[in-house]
């Protein structure tokens, strides 16, 4: 199996009946709750008020995961033709033995059929990209292929509820930068080991790296954290749909930054639908500048810029930016002298050329990273083992052993 191993940002699945008991108007009055009513995260994020402004119409969200079950009622009419890579090669992405991809897709675009699960962007379309038919160990090569295929097939947002221990892998880096180059918002989870470490793809500059919270906006204890964290979203006790082959009721409660990632992908879909002329960089900027700051003022390791705020993201006055605020700064190089001139030109900021030698980005929505020859050779032979995580994983090396790349690395060109 080629490529490094990567895992879903796993979740603990607690299978639910079709209804549960909860309080109504007072302690002596009880009634059955619908699945939608059990989704506490919708109120915490202001989803119902946000749907008065946007429901994600016209936006395509690619779910690069274990597949998305096309028989799930709450996703009826939401799925586009998909595909498979790795052990799912040759499939159309609509088989999901694991249930993880279906759960994430429902959190993004669930239709709440007959009281079922409601997604953050219920009018968005899901592009299912399966990167492993068994829901087990994926490779970064298959994930990278899935990202590239999603870009080429119309994705506006790519949801990556998966992670690796790697600080950086060339295949993922190239694929994510390809997405940036084509004006796509990329969202990934920080991980569920409760450690101060954010691995690839969440640590790639420009990606929205999502950590988890609990009810009451406390940091979810098992959420990975680090300086790469961008936003936070609910991650504990998140009710969603799964295939009936996984749970006979078709529903489960999940814990994990997987879920938080999907919720932020739904938020990005709402913004892209509400502001169709915004490029990806300005969509990211709107999400981070309107987030509810939960920790120390400004960006912090546990929650980044804060809890995603759907209503504010859709309605606040936000000044436009000329580049993705998460991306590395453009490289500064000397401008060529005018034709026929013998004088040296003054240095100037110029866009970085892409891998094909074309012009670089002008609106800052693309992060183009070229790896030096010797570094690429070294990284290409490193195999990074990653475990599938449905629960907080065993202790891992301290983050000091896996430092994030420096700005100079990201600017490096051969």
Which residues are part of the catalytic machinery? 65, 100, 258
Q: How far apart are CA 113 and CA 117, in angstroms?
A: 7
Helices marked H in 78-184: 100-109, 140-152, 170-181
Paired with 292 in beta bridges are: 307
State the Cα–Cα distance between residues 280 and 268, nearest whole angstrom: 9
Q: Is 231 strand, coil or helix?
A: strand
**What are the distances in angstroms from CA 282 to CA 5, 289, 303?**
32, 10, 20
CA distance 2 to 165: 17
Give me the half-sphere count of Cα atoms (radius 13 Å) on the Cβ side of residue 177: 23
Q: How far apart are the first and last CA of the chain?
A: 29
C-alpha closest to that of 234 among 267, 266, 212, 209? 212
Q: Which of 354, 208, 172 is nearest to 281 (CA)?
A: 208
Q: Are 390 and 383 in contact (CB under 8 A)?
A: no
């Amino acid at each position: 199996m080629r490529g490094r191993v990567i895992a879903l940002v796993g979740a603990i699945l607690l299978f639910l009946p079709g209804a549960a008991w909860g309080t109504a108007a007072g302690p002596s009055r009880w009634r059955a709750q619908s699945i939608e009513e059990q989704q506490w995260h919708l109120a915490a994020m202001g989803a119902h008020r946000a749907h008065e402004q946007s429901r994600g119409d016209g936006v395509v969200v690619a779910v690069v995961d274990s597949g998305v079950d096309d028989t799930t009622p709450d996703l009826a009419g939401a799925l586009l033709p998909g595909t498979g890579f790795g052990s799912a090669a040759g499939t159309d992405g609509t088989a999901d033995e694991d249930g993880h991809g279906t759960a994430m897709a429902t959190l993004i675009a669930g239709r709440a059929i007959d009281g079922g699960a409601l997604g953050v962007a219920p009018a968005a379309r899901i592009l299912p990209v399966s990167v492993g038919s068994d829901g087990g160990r994926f490779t970064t090569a298959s994930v990278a292929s899935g990202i590239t295929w999603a870009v080429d097939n119309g994705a506006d947002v790519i949801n990556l509820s998966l992670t690796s221990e790697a600080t950086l892998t060339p295949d993922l880096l190239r694929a994510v930068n390809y997405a940036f180059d084509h004006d796509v918002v990329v969202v990934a989870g920080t991980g569920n080991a409760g450690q101060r470490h954010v691995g690839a793809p969440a640590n790639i500059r420009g990606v929205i790296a999502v950590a988890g919270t609990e009810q009451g906006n406390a940091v979810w204890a098992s959420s990975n954290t680090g300086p790469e964290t961008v936003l936070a979203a609910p991650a504990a006790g998140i009710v969603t749909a799964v295939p009936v082959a996984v749970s006979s009721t078709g529903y489960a409660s999940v814990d994990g930054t997987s879920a938080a990632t999907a919720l932020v992908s739904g938020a990005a879909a709402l913004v892209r639908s509400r502001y169709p002329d915004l490029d990806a960089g300005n969509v990211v900027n709107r999400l981070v500048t309107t987030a509810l700051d939960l920790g120390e003022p400004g960006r912090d390791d546990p929650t980044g810029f804060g809890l995603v705020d759907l209503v504010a993201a859709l309605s606040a006055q936000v000044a436009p930016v000329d580049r993705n605020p998460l991306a590395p700064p453009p490289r500064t190089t000397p401008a060529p002298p005018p034709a026929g001139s013998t004088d040296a030109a003054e240095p100037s900021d110029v866009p970085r050329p892409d891998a094909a030698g074309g012009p670089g980005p002008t609106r800052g929505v693309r992060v183009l990273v070229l790896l030096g020859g010797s570094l690429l050779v070294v990284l290409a032979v490193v195999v990074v083992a990653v475990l599938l995580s449905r629960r907080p994983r065993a202790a891992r090396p301290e983050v000091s052993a896996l430092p994030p790349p420096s700005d100079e690395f990201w600017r490096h060109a051969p």
